Amino acid sequence: MEPLLTYDSVEVSFNGHAVTHDVSFTLHKGEILGIVGESGSGKSTLLKASMGLLGGGGLVTRGDIWFQNKDLPDLPEPELRKICGAQIGMIFQDAGASLCPIRTIGDQIYESMAAHMEITRVQAKEKALILFDKLQFKNGQRIWESYPFELSGGMNQRAGIAIAMLMEPLVLMADEPTSALDVAVQKQVIEEMLHLRELFGTAIILVTHDIGVVSAMADTVLVLKDGRIMEFGTTQQILCEPQDTYTRKLLAAVPKLRRA
């Protein structure tokens, strides 16, 4: 199968100092790749590199990130903005907090969709309510009309993920999407992301500290240490037969694996 997204020997530097080194992997349609590693190992940096979100001082200094025959770090800003949000979506640890507090969820959905496609408010609402329904959100109409502060933190996070998915991106970058949530909502969000993968065939890159989430969701796992790949393989291989000493240490630090 043709790869959807390919990182080829990617080095990212901040102010001339390299923080990831020679990172290569491929992601295919519908695949979920988990990226694990201790704090500061470069997980978020790798996601941000493809979205042009490294900020001032951050640059892809070597290698390529290929998406649909385009090298993302080389794209002019306006072209990259067209791809990000539409074909490549992103959700953060606190997707809920990235919602604007003074505009309703419905307004924000409509605006984010209208920025990328020809769509009327009525059509956006119809699409959103269908997806809310598929995700079994209780009372989608109320969510559409609500301001973020009128919903729980968990519901905002779920709405944030749904908003990212309404664009039906080919790839979803999810940076610690469940870590701010309580266990029950965590489970719900994991099930919803798996459901969205089934509905749209979306490939997901999932950055997380939680090996339980990796075990429940990922098909393949990449283990990162100090910006270098230590190990890459199927979830079964990495979690059950880790070859690398660092991976073994990382797994040993987890008391018990949870299956969602």
Ligand X SMILES: Nc1ncnc2c1ncn2[C@@H]1O[C@H](COP(=O)(O)OP(=O)(O)OP(=O)(O)O)[C@@H](O)[C@H]1O
Contact map string, positions 34 to 73, toward ligand X, x by CB under 6 A = ---x-xxxxxxx---------x-xx---------------
Least distance from ligand X to the Cβ atom of residue 80, Å: 18
3-state helix, strand, coil in the chain (%, to 5): 40, 25, 35
The window from 32-40, 84-92, 107-115, 232-240 that contacts ligand X (CB under 6 A) reads: 32-40
Residue 41 or 157: which CB sits closer to ligand X? Answer: 41
Q: Is 13 near ligand X (CB under 6 A)?
A: no
Q: How many residues lie near ligand X (CB under 6 A)?
A: 13
What torsion do the CA atoms of 139, 143, 144, 145 make, to the nearest 10 degrees? 110
Residue 53 or 75: which CB sits closer to ligand X? Answer: 53
Two tokens, residue 158: 């779920």
Least distance from ligand X to the Cβ atom of residue 185, Å: 21
Least distance from ligand X to the Cβ atom of residue 47, Å: 8
Alpha helix locations (H) across the chain?
43-51, 77-83, 105-114, 121-134, 140-145, 153-166, 183-200, 211-217, 235-240, 245-252
Two tokens, residue 110: 């409509």
Least distance from ligand X to the Cβ atom of residue 196, Å: 23
Least distance from ligand X to the Cβ atom of residue 90, Å: 14
Q: How far is CA 155 from CA 98, 141, 161, in A?
A: 13, 14, 10
Residue 39 or 69: which CB sits closer to ligand X? Answer: 39
- What is the spatial distance between Cα 98 and Cα 109, in angstroms, rounded to a whole number? 13
Q: Which residues bind ligand X (CB under 6 A)?
A: 14, 19, 37, 39-45, 55, 57-58
